[in-house]
């Protein structure tokens, strides 16, 4: 037998990296079942090693059914696969940042939940997005995060919190509030009055 032919034959018998679509998920064990492509053959439960950290610090982000994933065979054994990464495709595209209006740029980290689940079938649409879900965007100029109408931005020398039209800004100049009131359980700064003898002063000025 020709040595080249023998080498090719041997190589083709070794399992290679493959793509697949997640068909089921077990969050408790961080495991998934995957439809291998293009044959569409479903695996058994296999480890989901995407975005995980095990030890004193633990990170868990179970992959959603319908997600396009990459699987690696352990020591070339096609019976022992591990999901090692996920990839965007023509159906599920990178998400736009609520802070910048752009997708994450090189050197940035963007985490957004509630984007809508990937389609389960060829004719299924992407799931509806959740407008009140949480998100976090780390950029070279600052950190931005929020949920629904609430937002927090941390920049060099300033922290800004905004909730539904009310904004509080903290900087070296002090604390500034716009569009709202400062209240305790008993008093409001906007309507607060100081008694003067038997009289009452006017409201706060400036």
Domain count, the chain: 3
Give the range among 7-11, 89-93, 138-142, 190-194 with minimum mean pLDDT. Answer: 7-11
| Cα 165 to Cα 119: distance, rounded to the nearest angstrom | 36
Token pair for 18: 């493959």
Q: Using the structure block, give the residue that is written with the tokens 């679509």.
A: 21
pLDDT (tens digit, 9 = 90+) per residue, 13-32? 567 889 999 999 999 999 99
Range of the domain at 78: 3-87
* Domain end point (choices 43, 68, 87): 87
Q: Using the structure block, give the residue that is written with the tokens 């995957």.
A: 34
Q: What is the mean pLDDT of residues 140-167?
A: 95
Please report the DSSP string for 99-150 in residue order: TTSSBPPTT-EEEE--S-PPPSSTTPPPPPP-TT-EEEEEETTEEEEEETTE
Nearest to 153 by CA among 95, 94, 96, 100: 100
Q: What is the mean pLDDT of residues 83-93?
A: 91
* Domain end point (choices 156, 177, 193): 156
pLDDT (tens digit, 9 = 90+) per residue, 26-74? 999 999 999 999 899 999 999 999 999 999 999 999 999 999 999 999 8
Token pair for 157: 């020398």
Same domain, 187 and 138: no
Q: Rounded to 10 degrees, what is the CA torsion of 63, 29, 138, 150?
A: 90
* Domain end point (choices 44, 67, 87): 87
Same domain, 168 and 199: yes
Same domain, 77 and 37: yes
Same domain, 152 and 163: no
Same domain, 161 and 192: yes
Token pair for 83: 């999901």
| Cα 130 to Cα 148: distance, rounded to the nearest angstrom | 9
């Amino acid at each position: 037998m020709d040595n080249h032919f023998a080498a090719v034959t041997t190589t083709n018998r070794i399992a290679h990296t493959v793509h697949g679509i997640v068909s089921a998920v077990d969050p408790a064990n961080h495991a998934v079942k995957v439809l291998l492509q293009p044959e569409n053959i479903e695996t058994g439960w296999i480890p989901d090693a995407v975005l995980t950290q095990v030890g004193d610090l633990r990170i868990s982000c179970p992959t959603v059914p319908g997600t396009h994933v990459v699987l690696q065979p352990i020591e070339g054994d096609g019976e022992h696969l591990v999901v090692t990464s996920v990839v965007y495709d023509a159906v599920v595209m990178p998400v736009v940042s609520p802070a910048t209006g752009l997708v994450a740029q090189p050197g940035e980290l963007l985490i957004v939940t509630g984007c809508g689940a990937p389609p389960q079938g060829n004719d299924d649409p992407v799931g509806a997005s959740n407008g009140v879900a949480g998100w976090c965007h780390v950029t070279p100029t600052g950190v931005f995060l929020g949920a629904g109408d609430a937002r927090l931005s941390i920049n060099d020398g300033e922290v800004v919190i905004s909730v539904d039209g009310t904004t509080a800004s903290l900087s070296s100049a002090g604390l500034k509030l716009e569009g709202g009131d400062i209240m305790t359980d008993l008093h409001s700064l906007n309507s607060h009055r100081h008694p003067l003898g038997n009289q009452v002063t006017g409201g706060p000025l400036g």
